[in-house]
Structure 1
Amino acid sequence: MKRRNAYIWIWLGMLIGLSSCSITKHLPEGETLYLGLKDISVQNEDETKAGQAALDEVKGAISIAPNNAIVTYPNIRFPIPFGLWVYNRFVRYEKGFGRWIFRKLAADPVYVSTVNPDTRAKVASNLLRDYGFFDGHVTYRVDSTKNPRAVKLSYDIDMGRPYYIDTLLYEGFAPLTDSLIHANMAGKLVRSGEHFNVNTLNEERQRIIDLLRDNGYYYARNDFITFLADTLMRPGYVTLKLVPEPNLPKEALRRYRLGNTSVYLTGYNGERPTDSLKLRDFTVHYAGEKPGLRFGVLRKRFIYRKGEMYSQTRQNYTQEALSRLGVFKFNEVQYLPRPDSDTLDVRVNAMFDLPYDSELELNVTTKSTKQTGPGAIFKLSKRNFRRMGASLNLELKGSYEWQTSSTVDGDKSVMNSYELGAALSLDFPRIVLPWVRDRIDPFRFPSETHFRIYAEQVNRARYFKMLSFGGSVSYSFQKSRSMKHTVTPVHLAFNHLQRRTPTFDSIALANPMLFRSLDDQFIPSISYTFTYDDSWRKRRLRLWWENSFTSAGNITSAIYAAFGRSFKEREKKFLGTPFAQFLKFTSEIRPLYYISEKQQLAGRLMAGVIWSYGNKTVAPYSEQFYVGGANSIRAFTVRSIGPGRFHPADNSAYSYVDETGDIKLEANVEYRFRLLSNMFGGNLNGAVFLDAGNVWLMREDEARPDAKFTFKHFFDNIALGTGVGIRYDLSFLVLRLDWGIALHVPYETGRSGYYNIPRFKDGQGLHFAIGYPF
């Protein structure tokens, strides 16, 4: 205790010592500290969508964050300038521990000279002109503060009046090019009556170049065409012409066709090709006795044929298809024009990646069962399995758990709870079906085929021992960059209860629905998942949305019906094991709004329902829903809430397997912000969050009263928690620590009012995890 108190006093002394430091005492001579924006005034504001877009760009150019900023404008700064304190206290050290502290914790002061308001005002004025506000301008002024060596800045924006597009004409192009442009006018981006915008003009020019390059004009470039503008013909409007530059080289005016293709495969150790294999116009050069990739697998990555017109889009698809094989460290496509000809020969240079890849993940878990313990996952991958461009993956995982308290309900803890699992999968970067070969285009729509078999054994101390094994086949493809479809036509799972204890038998007698969910069963299912993800778009609001539907046992039941067995018959078996029959649907949406580079507002809304019927009226335990934990409602541990208003007694021996349900609703919102940048090679971020949700049953259960879903007192049935957290972001790894604080539980606690947590310390959850919760 004395040592702990000593550490506390040392840290308090350091904090007091740092706080006594001036934030400007050791600034270089002639430099002034920038404290942020004081005011931004706007005159002649254009409130249209285009005008606001222009204003956002202008504000972005002048809104430079000062040290320890939380919000740039309005100027909100973290009250403790820790990084500046460290800078001024340790900047004089050139070596030793003081220099190490300076390098790791100091924040470089943001100077007015670095912000350079004069240049930024000019840049902002130019941005106004780019958006058609030709009369607009931006000025600035310096505002003094109490500290003579620290100032704030204010900007005055006068937008003036906007200019609009009158007409856009395409003139001076060759007849064939002119016909091509006018045949694709439906995609035109510049329209009469809209705001003049240089960005839109550049996008229209790029559209024309892309159109030409997709139709054989290999040498077409942006600088080969230009805009001519006139603002005098019609006041307030701009008349435009898009014309080719004069004296273009003859290659730019010629359409090219594709000739022969040669692929040079370099080994992962740098082995140069020594032999070749040719089939008509396609040649593979390789090292060794045979190509490192099967000829057919490689040839089908190229979607063009000899004699076809060159296309930029097909070139991109080909390179993406080669990259998706996952066997190359790099691949480069070159086009070689034949002298005095309109033919381009294709040369591809590719180098194989290392054949094996491995990964080891270690973790420590804490569960609501009062059990904690270490776990590990080891993954080993063999790239380019049997030269098919496929990946063979082996995954081994295990965890060991023991009770964190010495006794549980008077019984000493038995240290034999563990989980062991192994999975073998084979992944193809294309659709693999025995009767479908060339009918599915694997290039325009990125696709994957996933074969998997697995086995897992779970031993729960003093309760049961279960063996689960099975396999699946799934296909996924993308119609666009944002939309992904995944179909699993075959998923077979067997759950076998190998051993159960008298304690578990007593639980099963008191709660037969729980027993049936854990009993031996066969789970044959098919599923479909649709995922929308536009996070690749660099815009403020990004969205991830996934919907999944699963049907289990229905095809098997239909087969039984075909042989004269009734759909309604219970306990139909496959290989001596009853099979589950249910329908399951889940939907989860995650919006992410970027307030700024250092601030985000993240949300999640998740709903799920499972309906069991026919052969099994209780869903398998592994398929049921639960809430709580590091990625759910963080004020509570896993499976510690619900179903409904039900809550097992504190002395219940089976509460950890009891709080699951058939219906789930969950909502989360989290404000994320930067605390410290470049701290030990990463960024330290903070978070404030609010979580809510619960699970319910679809049917009445005498052993769990008030667990069935009902709209009566619906909001009182929702568990609510808040909290704060910190995240250490290393870009490739995020370490997260969250402290959840309970605000409301759906069951009776003996305390009245919405805040019904009996004691504050009873309503807390501390979670250490890897990655963001959503």
Structure 2
Amino acid sequence: MKKQRMKIRNYNILLVLLLLLMGTACSTTRNLPEGEVLYTGIKDIHINRNDQSPMGEKALAEVEAAISIAPNNSFFGSAKKRIPFPFGLWIYNSFKRYEKGLGKWIFKKLAAEPVLLSTVNPDTRVKVASNLLHDYGYFNGNVTYQVDSTKNPRAIKLTYHVNMGQPYYLDSIRYQGFSPRADSMIQATYKERIIKPGDHFDVTKLNEERQRLVDLFRNNGYYYYRTDFITFLADTLMHPGYVNLKILPKASVPREALRTYYIGNTSVYLTGYNGEQPTDSMQTRNFTVHYAGDKPGLRYGVLRKRFLYRSGEQYSQIKQNYTQEALARLGVFKFSEFRYIPRMNDSIVTDTLDVRVNATFDLPYDSELELNVTTKSTKQTGPGAIFNLSKKNFQRMGASLNLELKGSYEWQTSSTVDGESSVMNSYELGAALTLEFPRLVLPWVRNRVDPFRFPSHTNFKVYAEQVNRARYFKMLSFGGTVSYSFQPKRSMKHTVTPLHLAFNTLQHRTARFDSIANANPMLFHSLDDQFIPSVTYTLTYDDTYKKKKNRIWWENSVTSAGNVTSLIYAAFGQKFSQKDKKLLGTPFAQFLKFTSEFRHLYTFSEKHQLASRIMGGVIWSYGNKTIAPYSEQFYVGGANSIRAFTIRSIGPGRFHPASSSSYSYVDETGDIKLEANLEYRFRIFSNFLGGNLNGAAFLDAGNVWLLRKDEAHPNAEFSLNHFFDSIALGTGVGIRYDFSFLVLRLDWGIALHVPYDTGKSGYYNIPRFKDGMGLHFAIGYPF
């Protein structure tokens, strides 16, 4: 009876709270602080004398960003549009008075802090916006505002008036007051200047020019030179609408900033990852390494080559930056700190800077474990795992030795193979060993460090994979690669794989597999014993490091297999197109493969983004092998593709094996691939249990096709006549738990259309809703 009374009491409390919420739901200002007014957004922005030039658009965008503050229940961060139900404000006004209990918990979890007019502070914002107009050369421009009342006397909207005024342009530009040496450097780099006569007056460009001058001086020995030592004088009276500009050093520049400095001795102090302090040292000329233990934790030559400067050279800021980046690329230090100490001679400061570097080693090992569960449309299901172990600073060479072990196990969950009820077990095992150098390892690259400012890598890899499909076949694949990547620019990356040699062999075939191969020759030839000697070149453009609204990532890759080997055959008199050519007694593949992937990210705000991707590829096999190797063929589906479908479960074309088919277990692949994805990403909760909880809504489409007609795969070849019908389409929603260093992702995909006949008419041809669902757990964003 006592427990029952407690339950009734709790229900009554909840009922009272709900009635209270309903009774005060219409109030968004009831419990505002005394004298405060609720800000409900911008009613309008009126623009007078709008300058539609690129500079005018840039200035106006900055002004609008300064005054556009999102109100409560904003629609996608908009300052003008709001969601009609201010649920967070209702909770705030209904539960603010609760200091404990359920009411306090509801307030803490669901209430939205009101955006007040005093917080928006429009007086300050119009001053900032007016100053922005002046910074972009609109000296006569100004921004004002007015308060617009609403039906609620304690809630207001704002209307802004932006008068851009007349734009000013640069007329003459003169550099005055610099020392003869500094002036000669300015004249020698005159073509590199940021600002030129006739340009729009723009304070940001002036600051860039000032930074260019400081970098120029610091790269030529002026170690103590700073940006605040340079000033500008502008005259707008001599020529109306134009600015006569003088760039000159301040009168109070310190004496040490006006002299050049030279590099002296360099001392590197290496601290162990457990804090072991240096106890010994090793010196060669003017370079000394202090270390703990019997020998340095990093080979002396490897460390020395990271330093681009030499004793006696003029100080250079750019060489300092390159040196710090080269040390960071080694991947063996937690951090490194550079200090430049003026050398003293009889209490007099000389023009020599001794360099002290403090560096602490990172942990020597790193490991990662990834677990997953796979469920396929063929009713194969089972767990999988990938384990990575990395040894940093392998053999004290600054290289990383990585071991990857992966495996998966699948079993049949129902009798879909020839009507048998017995369980069919399959597994995949793999191992890979990679030695990665954070530099180019080439016999002709013998300079101090790679000739590229940005990261370059060399990878040597060997691998082996075992695939067992119970009652059908067992296949062994092994091989190795040598790969180089380098970046002449931060946004441009080249990857060259001059050697990739793979070997596939069917270790075991059953009579059942042979019967399937007779009915499906394409399958048999794609899995046949063969060498795959290939060369690959990849070009990647990536500007996602820039903090701008539109960011682009674009990668193109070309692979040529067997052609170099065929050229060698041709040199000995055999035709290039001749078939049955062998390498070490085994036929080798011959094909050309091209892939392209384009990604675009548009940022509305920190909490709202729109990501898109389009990708495609084609592989053409010829000569020695007219069927592409199975490992090189394209597929769609899975956590990073069309998420309504499991991996390799769509295509090719409008073909789809029936569940009762004798080879329904075969993965569905093709020679052509097209795929497109669109994903809207939004913030749900910030700082939620140590990370940000984000949501996503997505739309995925794509398929694979065959280039050649295959009797065993009807309607699988590419055709424009049925192109749109052969595109698989899926939508869905997902959540992401973003820790900044790690993103956990869960996506729920919902199929809208499959390219094959399901017995259901109409574009939405999914027989049952539950048949068109895919659930994927993954690490990282899909693109």
Would you say the 8 A contact 1:723–1:740 is kept in 2?
A: yes
2:318 match: 313
Relative distance call for 1:641 and 1:208 in structure 2 (3 A) is: same
Aligned-residue offset at 1:629: 2.6
Paired with 1:250 and 1:74, the residues of 2 have a C-alpha distance of 51
2:620 match: 611
Counterpart residue identity of residue 686, structure 2:
S
Relative distance call for 1:329 and 1:470 in structure 2 (3 A) is: same
Aligned-residue offset at 1:476: 0.8
Structure 2 counterpart SS, 1:657: coil
**Offset from partner CA, 1:230-286 (integer Å, 9 cap, x none):** 111111211110011114222111122222211111111222222211111211111
TM superposition score normalised by structure 2: 0.91
* Residues 354-753 of structure 1 aligned to structure 2 (within 5 Å): 354-405=363-414, 410-412=419-421, 414=423, 416-434=425-443, 436-438=445-447, 441-442=450-451, 444-563=453-572, 565-749=574-758
Paired with 2:53 and 2:240, the residues of 1 have a C-alpha distance of 20
Residue 304, structure 1, aligned to residue 309, structure 2: yes
Aligned-residue offset at 1:294: 0.8
Structure 2 counterpart SS, 1:446: coil
Greater alpha carbon shift after TM alignment, 277-286 vs 750-759: 750-759
Relative distance call for 1:363 and 1:76 in structure 2 (3 A) is: farther
Would you say the 8 A contact 1:357–1:380 is kept in 2?
A: yes
Paired with 2:664 and 2:19, the residues of 1 have a C-alpha distance of 48
Residue 240, structure 1, aligned to residue 226, structure 2: no
Paired with 1:368 and 1:82, the residues of 2 have a C-alpha distance of 42
Residue 200, structure 1, aligned to residue 209, structure 2: no
Structure 1 counterpart SS, 2:489: coil
Relative distance call for 1:404 and 1:55 in structure 2 (3 A) is: farther
Paired with 2:18 and 2:376, the residues of 1 have a C-alpha distance of 36
Aligned-residue offset at 1:111: 2.3
Aligned-residue offset at 1:99: 4.9
Structure 2 counterpart SS, 1:346: strand
Residue 280, structure 1, aligned to residue 282, structure 2: no
Relative distance call for 1:15 and 1:716 in structure 2 (3 A) is: farther
Structure 2 counterpart SS, 1:289: coil
Q: Which one of the candidate residues 242, 257, 265 is aligned to 1:260?
A: 265
Paired with 1:254 and 1:405, the residues of 2 have a C-alpha distance of 82
1:53 match: 58
Would you say the 8 A contact 1:727–1:734 is kept in 2?
A: yes
**Offset from partner CA, 1:166-211 (integer Å, 9 cap, x none):** 2211011111111110111111111222221111111111111111
Structure 2 counterpart SS, 1:509: helix
Structure 1 counterpart SS, 2:652: coil
Relative distance call for 1:624 and 1:122 in structure 2 (3 A) is: same
Aligned-residue offset at 1:735: 3.5
Aligned-residue offset at 1:537: 0.7
2:225 match: 220
Paired with 1:559 and 1:248, the residues of 2 have a C-alpha distance of 69
Structure 2 counterpart SS, 1:308: coil
* Residues 284-295 of structure 1 aligned to structure 2 (within 5 Å): 284-295=289-300
Residue 229, structure 1, aligned to residue 220, structure 2: no
Greater alpha carbon shift after TM alignment, 720-729 vs 231-240: 720-729
Aligned-residue offset at 1:653: 3.9
Aligned-residue offset at 1:409: 5.4
**Offset from partner CA, 1:124-175 (integer Å, 9 cap, x none):** 1111111112222222233333444433322222212222212211011111
Greater alpha carbon shift after TM alignment, 204-213 vs 520-529: 520-529
Paired with 2:372 and 2:110, the residues of 1 have a C-alpha distance of 28
Aligned-residue offset at 1:227: 0.1
Relative distance call for 1:79 and 1:358 in structure 2 (3 A) is: farther
The RMSD of aligned alpha carbons is 2.7
Paired with 2:271 and 2:289, the residues of 1 have a C-alpha distance of 11
The total of aligned residue pairs comes to 765
Counterpart residue identity of residue 345, structure 1:
D
**Offset from partner CA, 1:378-413 (integer Å, 9 cap, x none):** 221111111111111112222222334465553225
Would you say the 8 A contact 1:739–1:765 is kept in 2?
A: yes
Structure 1 stretches of 5 or more lacking a match?
1-8
2:3 match: none
Structure 2 stretches of 5 or more lacking a match?
1-10
Counterpart residue identity of residue 250, structure 1:
R
2:163 match: 158
2:120 match: 115
Paired with 1:99 and 1:240, the residues of 2 have a C-alpha distance of 61
Aligned-residue offset at 1:102: 4.7
* Residues 40-189 of structure 1 aligned to structure 2 (within 5 Å): 40-73=45-78, 75-88=80-93, 91-94=96-99, 99=104, 102-189=107-194
Paired with 2:110 and 2:743, the residues of 1 have a C-alpha distance of 19
Paired with 2:632 and 2:18, the residues of 1 have a C-alpha distance of 51
Paired with 1:236 and 1:436, the residues of 2 have a C-alpha distance of 55
Greater alpha carbon shift after TM alignment, 216-225 vs 647-656: 647-656
Relative distance call for 1:477 and 1:255 in structure 2 (3 A) is: same
Paired with 1:463 and 1:751, the residues of 2 have a C-alpha distance of 33
Relative distance call for 1:317 and 1:396 in structure 2 (3 A) is: same
Aligned-residue offset at 1:69: 2.3
Would you say the 8 A contact 1:368–1:639 is kept in 2?
A: no
Would you say the 8 A contact 1:514–1:658 is kept in 2?
A: no
Counterpart residue identity of residue 403, structure 2:
L
- Percent identity over the alignment is 74
**Offset from partner CA, 1:615-657 (integer Å, 9 cap, x none):** 2211111110112233222333332332223233343243452
Paired with 2:33 and 2:275, the residues of 1 have a C-alpha distance of 52
1:771 match: 780
Relative distance call for 1:679 and 1:355 in structure 2 (3 A) is: closer
Paired with 2:72 and 2:778, the residues of 1 have a C-alpha distance of 29
Relative distance call for 1:15 and 1:490 in structure 2 (3 A) is: farther
1:5 match: none
Counterpart residue identity of residue 53, structure 1:
K
Structure 1 counterpart SS, 2:293: coil
Paired with 1:162 and 1:208, the residues of 2 have a C-alpha distance of 26
Would you say the 8 A contact 1:318–1:443 is kept in 2?
A: no
Would you say the 8 A contact 1:430–1:442 is kept in 2?
A: no
Aligned-residue offset at 1:503: 3.5
Relative distance call for 1:496 and 1:107 in structure 2 (3 A) is: farther
Would you say the 8 A contact 1:260–1:306 is kept in 2?
A: yes
Aligned-residue offset at 1:217: 1.1
Would you say the 8 A contact 2:413–2:423 is kept in 1?
A: no
Would you say the 8 A contact 1:87–1:107 is kept in 2?
A: yes
Relative distance call for 1:102 and 1:467 in structure 2 (3 A) is: farther
Paired with 1:684 and 1:283, the residues of 2 have a C-alpha distance of 49
Would you say the 8 A contact 2:376–2:649 is kept in 1?
A: no
Relative distance call for 1:438 and 1:585 in structure 2 (3 A) is: same
**Offset from partner CA, 1:504-557 (integer Å, 9 cap, x none):** 333212101111112222222221111111001111111101111111222333
**Offset from partner CA, 1:641-695 (integer Å, 9 cap, x none):** 3222323334324345252111112222223333443444443434333333221
Paired with 1:160 and 1:413, the residues of 2 have a C-alpha distance of 82
